[in-house]
Structure 1
């Protein structure tokens, strides 16, 4: 069940799609979407968007660090993405003395660009349908485990056949809940360097208060550069590497746009669940998401206490805190939106129609699908809450470091002297990585708060945790006392104690280490699956796959798109407003201006402070060539594109394929969009490219970056 909670389900929406709904495969654009896109304003051909043999738009779109999207905007490998996508790398490169996260950073030349330890971009090369080949390996008599094993064997062959001796990364993905399969070929570049970032009070202006809200006034962008060897091939970092000469880079537009203008977005959306049954929606609203929200807030409260006291701690934990805070607000927004829109009720009506169809002659193989699905959710509701409490607990570093290192140490101790000499450098490197930037007082207090929450709110908890909680009356003070003693007596209390242990390792000391025992207990519970759960999961996965298959057969003329699963997609729509909002100073509520940004200014506030230079530029109306024709400086704007997490950093393109903005958020009113699409409420919030260029040029004075770009006016 845990797999389903973490990476829910691959599918599509079953009703006829709206014009702006859908996350489409590029290889299907000509067959499914091209005529609609032309009518809305597209001026490109399908070949100009996706071509295997020639350079095309897809060659400028990259997956950024496996979690966001970015785009190539110059012929020297310049990469544009969101500030929040580069946040962890900017924080990593920052110190209390050189605080790029707070103050910003702009490299004056290539030599000044900064290399984070780990950062990569992934270029999409091609894709193809291998559904018949893979499904030819399975039959209805197989258990789900047997089916999965057969599929994985064939996937391994396909990936090996297409990687060209390791040149490419090949990934086969399941779609429509295992009813279709496609392979994707990628090329990865690992030498990616920071070029520029605005200060946090521009790149993260509005903070958690404005997150998922409109009107927005955020300069959410950062710049990186891809480096390659002298022949343009991927290479690990070297001072001899050179900026990549890409196959294609985007043209940047200063022409602006009007309401109802065509807008398309290409990117790597992470996850949607638009086939999710009513029972799954209800489970999330009543059990899973409330646990997530409560556990997230628990961590945030403790972390903020320490981050506010120490700037280096704030930098070290900035990315982790931002990630937790983002999903905390997202999950609460999902609860509210799914409840308000009665999404579960809507899904139940669809399921009733499906059940009626399934009862007809010839459809009998689908007749038990909905009852099996409903039985699964009925029997896993409380377990879903448990898994979310435990999942957030396991995001606490000291809940997992002892298990991870302890098992590596145990493996080391079991080897002969020669093998130990071979693996010791890897173990030492892992120790350095795991303890880098860690602040133990924070970690211990977060762990105590999470253990107290888990032991009092979840059912059927980890056995050792249950025993300790009972002995300490389940109180946070009791957990603090226990952990104080456990940390004091643990080899995992600090990097120095771990290194001291490695100098004179002892298997019995490791076995009896209190933090290793606690961490092992938590991970074992997280991975535990009873025989009853295994059977529930087996029945559910088969029923879910049949439901998707049956609903597609029931509506054979509908136009389908796959659910998001971090593969490259295109979504198209329009620049479009929300109803009038008095908080927005703009003439129409589809854009915001620098005037509105200044109006939010609160000196010294963590979320709404801003640099004096930005205020001076506004007061002097020193907007350069980046002002709109009506004289204002645009900041953010709205489109009705269908996006989700992973689309952060995606380019917003006009009908000519020119860059007009950068997607960075959605609106909280449409937070149910991952489950059910609402064409009236769904909005994508974007940074206007003119604001990005204004900040690079007029604010930062980095005109050499502007000179790299291909700009149309």
Structure 2
């Protein structure tokens, strides 16, 4: 660890750290960032942010259900996150008669809190550097495949050593493209219950139109509670469980924010690629992302057609549609932003300088061929990238594309076993059936599969289609309507009922000949296929990419001092910071939005811009209570220049005292290139002002019981 810290410290002295850029490890905050943060307004010690032996801010931050961030805001395990992070749980707990997604929900007491089937939060316990230990096991003569095999063996040992007999979840992760390794110790709690959520018209105000846009007026939050056994340990759901008493929880500040106020965010950013070579960026812009966008939109259009007609169907597909729509707009934003920013040219210039450095006699042996290897790889995989993204969106949006293979293979294994083994396997079979057909509407699924097959067969043909799909296309001229209708009409896997009928009178030999199984199996086999040549090319590319990152750091040609995001806990710090004046926002300074601007967007009955009557009434009466800004308006959202990405959704925005001032929920579309290259002028984080959150809980919902739990700083 000393060697790494020394290297980072030397680099820090050589190149000033830009405060608004960076997703930093908590264990290095004192050495790398604390002095800079203090100058900007931090009033906490590094130990108060990250401590192994004492409670600290990190104990109040949780990863929420594997894909978002949340924060503990009371001494009774109350959790605050985004509405879109709780979306699937809220939809699951809703029915047409009790539609919590549409109408909102507020538990008046703990007995009314609702338990979804599967939801967990993950607490971060500690981390440490194991780079020296792991890298001592490998050498330069190994292929990347051989290297990874050895590394995975060592990782398994490290994870076992630190799990304390299964008490903790331990994860060893690579950083800087496999040039460093750290382990992370977590503790998971699975009894998590819904406490409150605003109606969807508030929590998702602006819908797809405003997604990734500024100005925003979205109440993107929901509330849950973590339960534990009587000793505070993780436990499966039980009526005997009690609210968790956390090591630390966040006080809430209603003092408000202003331009240049210090703001820091702790959370679990999912993925950045700031070391990605120019060829990879160009491939994404021209081949991968356009296919992603078109494939996602195709699935969305078919889902929406049925969701708009039936409330029950809308609840079934709400989460899948929202997730698909989110990334659909994100990827189009990435195309536009990366193109406008000239990111390929910027990276190419860096790589030209690297090639000159690598050509020096002392560097040539190790780094001389790296750029050519990388460029050749991308050139040879452009068509594959396009194909794979069309196919991936087909598989992601269609249950018929994936379910028959997974269930069919499980059933084939099941029928080969003796009665005792079958009895052991049956619960897993039933669970799989529940997963496939739990949120399932056959007419919608039929149209999604048909539309996606038509798109895939027409747009991915240059690389080569899945063999059975190619045969069908040659016979149907690219229109799969009749083929899908026929397949569903005769398939075992057409519905939950047809599966049950088959299992009552099973004939295992029928599975392999089933038309939906054949289509599904063909698609998944194509998705997983890899030739020997491709495997070798992937191996060579992985080695070259790892050495590129190593060489860029060694040569000082890349000044990034923090590793790419990979769903591990990070801290980012910056300021409340406006964007240039925008006629769409009537705020005095373009770093906040008000309720008045939200009401101006209101469209009665509109799916994206409707608002509840009670909210409109309270706004008309200016009944804002203690939550109004001192200037008199009701704040809704505000901007900071923090460095975040997907996975930070729900992250707490904290002031210099560690008090909660907002909840991060989005970025601005102009800076969608931020996952690849940081733009200090454009990059912004869009946050829900905590005053709006509290106003909705208190004034709008009347949930005083929740307000009473919080520690509010006035």
TM category, shorter: over 0.9
| 1:308 corresponding residue in structure 2 | 308
Look up the match of 1:7.
none
Query: Of 407, 410, 423, which residue of structure 2 is paired with 1:408?
Result: 410
Residue of structure 1 equivalent to 2:6:
none
How far the C-alpha of 1:585 sits from its partner, in A, is 1.5
Map of 2:401 onto structure 1: 399
1:6 corresponding residue in structure 2: none
Residue of structure 2 equivalent to 1:164: 164
Contact 2:191 2:228 in 1 (8 A): yes
Q: Does 1:468 align with 2:468?
A: no
State the distance in 2 between where 1:16 and 1:211 align: 34
User: Whole-Å Cα distance in 2 between the matches of residues 121 and 381 of structure 1?
Assistant: 39
Shift of 1:76: 0.3
Match in the other structure for 1:454: 456
Q: Is the 8 A contact 2:350 2:557 kept in 1?
A: no
1:665-703 deviation line (CA, Å, top 9, x unaligned): 000010000000000100000000000000000000001
Task: Give the SS at the match of 2:653.
Answer: strand
Q: Is the 8 A contact 1:251 1:658 kept in 2?
A: yes
Match of 1:252 in 2: 252
Judge which range, 551-560 or 348-357, deviates more. Answer: 551-560
Distance 2:47 2:580 in 1: 37
In the alignment, the residues of structure 2 paired with residue 196 and residue 647 of structure 1 have an alpha-carbon distance, to the nearest angstrom, of 21
CA shift, 1:437, in A, is 2.2
Three-state SS of the structure 2 residue aligned to 1:376 is helix
Give the drift of 1:367: 0.9
Show CA shifts across 1:157-192 (max 9, x none): 000000000000000000000000000000000000
Distance 1:557 1:289 in 2: 26
TM-superposed CA distance for 1:299, in Å, is 0.7
2:273–2:564: 8 Å Cα contact kept in structure 1?
Answer: yes
Whether the 8 Å contact between 2:124 and 2:187 is mirrored in structure 1 is yes
1:372 has 2:373 as partner: yes
Q: Which residue of 1 aligns with 2:608?
A: 607
Q: Residues of 1 paired with 2:504 and 2:600: CA distance?
A: 60
C-alpha deviation, 1:557, in angstroms: 10
Matches of 1:430 and 1:238 in 2, distance apart?
Answer: 24
The answer for the alignment partner of 1:650 in structure 2 is: 651
Structure 1 273/599 Cα, relative in aligned 2: closer, same or farther at 3 Å? same
Distance in 1 between the 2:449 and 2:432 partners? 21
CA 541–559 in structure 1, closer or farther in 2 if over 3 Å, else same: closer
Distance 2:453 2:560 in 1: 47
Render the CA deviation track for 1:305-345: whole Å, top value 9, x for unaligned.
10011010011101100111111100000000011111000
Work out whether residues 227 and 241 of structure 1, in 8 Å CA contact, stay in contact via their aligned partners in 2.
Answer: yes
Instruction: For residue 187 of structure 2, give the secondary structure of its aligned residue in structure 1.
Output: strand
CA distance in 1, matches of 2:150, 2:390: 34
SS of 1:192's partner is strand
> Unaligned regions of 5+ residues in structure 1, if any?
1-11
How far did 1:356 drift?
0.7
Distance verdict in 2 for CA 1:340–1:557, change over 3 Å: closer
Contact 2:80 2:222 in 1 (8 A): yes
Whole-angstrom distance in 2 between the partners of 1:337 and 1:629: 37
Counterpart mapping for 1:333-344 below 5 A:
333-344=333-344
Secondary structure of the residue that 1:362 maps to in structure 2?
helix
1:40 aligns with 2:44: no
Say if 2:446 is the partner of 1:437: no
CA distance in 2 between counterparts of 1:539 and 1:183 reads 27
Residue 527 of structure 2 corresponds to which residue in structure 1?
526
Deviations 1:405-456 (A, max 9, x none): 0110011011112111221122122212321120010001000000010011
CA distance in structure 2 between the partners assigned to 1:637 and 1:552 by the alignment: 36
Deviation at 1:279, TM superposition (A): 0.4
For normalisation by structure 2, the TM-score amounts to 0.97
Contact 1:212–1:665 under 8 Å retained in 2: yes
| CA distance in structure 2 between the aligned counterparts of 1:520 and 1:146, rounded to whole angstroms | 30
Residue 577 (structure 1) aligned with residue 573 (structure 2): no
Give me the whole-angstrom Cα distance separating, in 2, the residues matched to 1:209 and 1:128.
43
Structure 2 Cα separation of the partners of residues 556 and 586 of structure 1: 42
How far has the Cα of 1:258 moved from its partner? 1.4
Distance 2:440 2:559 in 1: 52
Contact 2:552–2:558 (CA under 8 A) maintained in structure 1: no
Counterpart-to-counterpart distance in 1, 2:15 and 2:566: 20
**CA contact 1:32–1:559 (8 Å) conserved in 2:** no
Instruction: Give secondary structure in 1 for the equivalent of 2:165.
Output: coil
Look up the SS of the partner of 1:84 in the other structure.
Answer: helix
Count of aligned pairs between the two proteins? 699
Other structure's SS at 1:587 match: coil
Q: Give, in whole Å, the separation in 2 of the partners of 1:633 and 1:270.
A: 32
1:216 equivalent in alignment to 2:216: yes
- Give, in angstroms, the shift of residue 213 of structure 1: 0.5
Q: What secondary structure sits across from 1:433 in the alignment?
A: helix
Query: What is the CA–CA distance in structure 2 between the aligned matches of 1:710 and 1:408, rounded to whole Å?
Result: 51
Who is 2:511 aligned against? 510
Q: What's the CA shift for 1:504?
A: 2.2
Match of 2:86 in 1: 86
Note if 1:179 corresponds to 2:183: no
Whole-angstrom CA distance in 1 between matches of 2:534 and 2:522: 19
Q: How does 1:144-163 map to 2 (within 5 A)?
A: 144-163=144-163
Q: 1:17: how far off?
A: 4.9
Q: What is the aligned partner in structure 1 of residue 299 from structure 2? A: 299
Relative to structure 2, which stretch is displaced further, 459-468 or 56-65? 459-468
Which residue does the alignment assign to 2:266? Answer: 266
Alpha-carbon distance change, 149 to 317 in structure 1, aligned in 2, over 3 angstroms: same
How many Å separate the matches in 1 of 2:495 and 2:406?
15
Shift of 1:19: 1.9
Consecutive unaligned residues of structure 2, counting only runs of 5 or more, are: 1-10
For the structure 1 residues 15 and 288, does the alpha-carbon distance in structure 2 shift closer, same or farther, using more than 3 Å as the test? farther
SS at match of 1:685: strand
What SS is found at the alignment partner of 1:585?
coil
TM-score normalised by length of structure 1:
0.97
2:661 is matched with which residue?
Answer: 660
> CA shift at 1:256, angstroms?
0.9
The superposition leaves residues 232-277 of structure 1 with CA deviations (integer Å, 9 ceiling, x where unpaired) of 0000101111100000000100111210010000000000000111
Aligned pairs (5 A) from 1:87-166: 87-166=87-166
Does the CA-based 8 Å contact 1:585-1:595 persist in structure 2? no
CA positional deviation for 1:15: 8.7
Deviates more, 1:422-431 or 1:230-239: 422-431
Q: Decide whether aligned partners of structure 1 residues 390 and 556 sit closer, same or farther in structure 2, where only a CA change above 3 A counts.
A: closer
The answer to whether the 8 A contact 2:354-2:557 is kept is no
Tell me what 1:319 maps to: 319
Structure 2 counterpart SS, 1:69: strand
- The 2-side partners of 1:16 and 1:42 are apart by 18
What is the distance in 2 between the residues matched to 1:61 and 1:439?
Answer: 37
Residue 428 (structure 1) aligned to one of 424, 427, 430 = 430
- Structure 1: distance between partners of 2:560 and 2:568: 19
CA distance in 2, matches of 1:246, 1:302: 44
**1:574–1:640 Cα contact (<8 Å) kept:** yes
C-alpha distance in 1, partners of 2:420/2:601?
Answer: 64
3-state SS, counterpart of residue 245 of structure 2: coil
